[in-house]
Structure 1
Amino acid sequence: MEQLQCHVKQYAWGKYGEDSEVARLFADGHSTFQIDNKTPYAELWMGTHPDGPAQLKKCSTRLSTYLAKHPSPLTNNNSAKNIHLPFIMKVMSIRTTLSLQVHPTKEQARKLHESDPINYPDRNHKPELAYALTRFELLCGFRPAREILKNLQTFPSFRLLFGGDTYAKPLEDCISEMKNLDSVNQDSPEYQKSRKYLEDCFRFMMVPDRTDVHDLIAQLLSELDNGLRGAVEEVTVGVIRKMSKDFPNDIGIFSPLFLNHMILEPGQCCYYAAEELHAYLSGECVECVGCSNNTIRAAMTPKYIDRDALCSVLNYKMTEQKDYLVDERRVNGCVDEYAPDCKDFQLHRIRVKTNDTEKDMKMPTLDCPSILVIVSGKGTIEESTTDDQLIGQYEVKRGDIFYIPPKHNIRFTECSEALEGYRTFSDEMGPDHDNRLVTSVQSTVPTINEKMLKLDADMEEAPTAVV
């Protein structure tokens, strides 16, 4: 095991100072870090990606460089300067809505990178999983067909946004002709045709420099004031009103009418692959993503919006919320697994009580590398080889982050305070980022003077990370 120093991202949508779990957790694990209550702390990155590379605490060597010098069955490439894990694990603290966005598939990412390496610096895809640490809200995937139909029929403003009789009506007619809107056959010709009509509506909505957006938003807010609801629940009305204040005159204010508004309680988990439109709204989570930083933005951001790429990448599937949820599976006495249909990452939640027996304190031995973060408690970890040869013992506490090599046995020998941690792993090979075009400045010094950071409150991201 190697203890890691990691990166915090100070994006403007993050929670400020002590309100941010990211800041508190990072401070608990990095003794020289001081929380500034005027600074937003949005994401704690744990992985090898060049935009936030983890370092070995004992020597400040990048984890990716260490992996290249210590090859394993999944990292056996002696010619590479860096070997990357296929995932990034994050903790996120969200104060206000992130941009409405989608991530490309591997093939789409490769083409986007070749045509525009500045805005798409990676050739890799970016599937995502979010495990709720607190009540966590997001928009994810197009609503079921019946709900989109109901909202088109309820909100005249939404129907006009989607193209009125020219584009919205064919979508309405197609959905209305489906036999059973509560159990739509997604392979049926009618459903496939409805996806094409939805794409036509969405492309019309995304026409640049539309002059009617201000008036349509004002009309939507008036319709809500007058009690119109359609398929929109009251809690979602509050999201729309908040968006109208945070992003005035932004077309993304309409997004809760056609996207699922999901509310996860602590312990719930959701997953969505590439091609799914989404936006995080509020709360704190553990996130697992593919080792990529490619994002195609649609709205609610001052950053680059690529409408053509966005409309081409989306899958336009109209899906129930339950289809995005990931069930937990008990692995042993202290480990639950969240395993989406994704090769890039799996997530283990580790919970050890002070009175657990020895058999309940052992983590599964993995054939692949992994990263572990402790989010609460204190204890002692024993590390050994698969033939039970002791390697070492480590006192661990909240905020500690570790790289665990393949085929190493890890168990807790003592737990002085009930402990909780999260471990991400994958059997896949990570992407090659050695020739990646650097698009942002990353500090590689263990500490920096935060007063030197200049955060633009109007920007979605700040270019500098805290190490």
Structure 2
Amino acid sequence: MEQLQCHVKQYAWGKYGEESEVARLFADGHDNFQIDNKTPYAELWMGTHPDGPAQLKKCSTRLSTYLAKHPSLLTNNNSAKNIHLPFIMKVMSIRTTLSLQVHPTKEQARRLHELDPINYPDRNHKPELAYALTRFELLCGFRPAREILKNLQTFPSFRLLFGGDTYAKPLEDSILEEKKMGVVNQESRKCLENCFRFMMDPDRSDVHNLVSKLLLELDNGLRGAIEEGTAGVIRKMSVDFPNDIGIFSPLFLNHMILEPGQCCYYAAEELHAYLSGECVECVGCSNNTIRAAMTPKYIDRDALCSVLNYKMTEQKDYLVPEMKLTPCVDMYAPDCKDFQLHRIRVGTEHTSKEMLMPTLDCASILVVVSGKGTIEEATQENQLIGKYEVKRGDIFYIPPKHNVRFLECSEALEGYRTFSYEMGPDHDTRLVTPVSKSTINEKMLKLEADMEAPTTVVNKTPTAVVKV
């Protein structure tokens, strides 16, 4: 096992100072880090991705370099200078809405990288899992067809946004035909794509008026298929992003509310936006993002409209069920090879104070989010490697086939472990454009949402990079 020093991202949508679980957790696990209550702390990254590479605490060597020098199932090419894990584990603290966005498949990512390596620096896909630490809200995937139909029939502004009789009516007719026939066909998805492309037309000049009409419709009590809480989300978006086309997104996207302990997953090609709360997130080892709205950053409308799958999906289809492995370990395993997540609870009212974690044939990263205890590390043959005192904020890389046992817990301990049996991507030829810290600080002051050109923090020393 190797204790890690990891990275915090100061995106403008993050919670400020002590309000941020990211800041509190990072401070508990990283010596000499001081929380600034005027700074937003958005994400804690735990992985090897070049935009936020973990380092070994004992020597500051990058974890990716360490992996290249220590053969394992991950390293069938030990001549590489860096070996990357296939995932990034994150903790996120969200104050205000992130951009409306989608991530490409591997094949789409390769094509986008060839066409535009500055805006799409990674050749890898980025599926995502979010485990709620607090009440967690997000928009995810197009609503079921019946709900989109009801909202088109309820909100005249939404119907105009989607093209009125020219584009919205064919979508309405297609959905009604599906309902009549009792089958799902591709026609409604094609009609939805036509509506979405019309909505995203950069030359349209009616968005301001349509937003005003939508807010008036809400004030007059129109609700369609949305709940009262979703109406509140729309109103907040209209304040945070005045006259932005993304204000309409809760009418055609699922508004999901996860309670602590619930988990959701979505693959590439799914439109989404996180709204509020704190979560553990697992993503593929990529930083490619195609943005649609609610952002001052680059919006690639052609790529966006081409990448989306336009599936109209029930909320329940995004939920990941909890699988009980042992009395102390629960697993969240989506249909994805890039990552799986273990939730570990030791020494609670309902769990023992001693526990052997499942031994894995692959590498993993463990973060402790609460409690204190003693762990013992041994080889697969149970030869003792060492004993360690662990506490909240500690982050560890665990090599393949190592046995890790919790011997005792002085305080009930909770942790999260992400792992994968896949090989990670090659990031050695990735393009990164450095900028001055003053430039980033200036942007941070100007942008109130979705600033993804972060100041990266390792302990107390910031390094400024633009995520291109």
TM-score for both structures, normalised by structure 1:
0.95
Which residue is 2:254 aligned to?
A: 260
Task: Provide the C-alpha distance between the structure 2 equivalents of 1:88 and 1:461, rounded to a whole number of angstroms.
Answer: 16
Q: Distance in 1 between matches of 2:352 and 2:330?
A: 17
Choose the corresponding residue for 1:298, options 292, 299, 304: 292
Give, in whole Å, the separation in 2 of the partners of 1:422 and 1:47. Answer: 14
Instruction: Extract unaligned runs of 5+ from structure 2.
Output: 459-468
Q: CA deviation at 1:210?
A: 1.5
8 Å CA contact 2:346–2:352 kept in 1: the answer is no
Contact 1:441 1:463 in 2 (8 A): no
User: Deviation at 1:73?
Assistant: 1.6
Q: Percent identity?
A: 85
Aligned to 2:217: 223
**Match of residue 69 from structure 1:** 69
* Map of 2:86 onto structure 1: 86
Post-superposition shift, 1:463? 3.2
**What residue in structure 2 maps to residue 8 of structure 1?**
8
Question: Helix, strand or coil for the counterpart of 1:249?
Answer: coil
CA offset digits 1:233-290 (Å, max 9, x no partner): 0000000000000000000000000000000000000000000000000000000000
1:177 is displaced (CA, Å) by: 1.2
Deviation at 1:23, TM superposition (A): 0.2
Alignment partner, residue 173 of structure 2: 173
**CA offsets 1:292-328 (integer angstroms, 9 cap, x no match):** 0000000000000000000000000000000000000
Amino acid at match of 2:224: G
Q: Match of 1:56, as an amino acid?
A: L
Cα RMSD for the two superposed structures: 1.7
**Which sections of structure 1, spanning at least 5 residues, go unmatched?**
444-449
1:337 corresponds in structure 2 to 331
- The answer for the alignment partner of 1:25 in structure 2 is 25
User: Does residue 456 in structure 1 map to residue 450 in structure 2?
Assistant: no
CA contact (8 A) 2:328 2:352 kept: no
Contact map agreement 1:113 1:122 (CA 8 A) in 2: yes
Counterpart of 1:129 in structure 2: which amino acid? L
Aligned runs of 1:362-373 on 2, under 5 Å?
362-373=356-367
Report how far residue 147 of structure 1 moved. 0.1
Relative to structure 1, the CA distance from residue 70 to residue 225 in structure 2 (aligned partners, 3 Å threshold; closer, same or farther) is same
SS at match of 1:380: strand
Cα-to-partner distance string for 1:344-369 (whole Å, 9 max, x where unaligned): 000000000167547x6111000000
Aligned equivalents of 1:34, 1:12: Cα separation in 2: 18
Deviations 1:409-446 (A, max 9, x none): 01100100000000000000000001111135699xxx
Question: Shift of the alpha carbon at 1:453?
Answer: 5.2
User: C-alpha offsets along residues 119-156 of structure 1, whole Å, 9 cap, x if unaligned?
Assistant: 00000000000000000000000000000000000000
Paired letter, 1:127? P
TM-superposition CA deviations, 1:374-413 (whole Å, max 9, x none): 0000000100011110000000000000000000001100
Alpha-carbon spacing, 1:251–1:354, altered in 2? closer, same or farther (3 Å): closer
Match of 1:447 in 2: none
**Partner SS state of residue 196, structure 1:** helix
* CA distance in structure 2 between the aligned counterparts of 1:172 and 1:289, rounded to whole angstroms: 35
- Over 6 Å off, 4+ runs: none
Pairing of 1:180-219 with structure 2 (within 5 A): 185=183, 188=184, 191-219=185-213
Alignment of 1:14-53 (within 5 A): 14-53=14-53
Q: Which residue of 1 aligns with 2:113?
A: 113
Q: Does 1:234 align with 2:206?
A: no
TM-score by length of 2: 0.95
Q: Which residue does the alignment assign to 1:446?
A: none
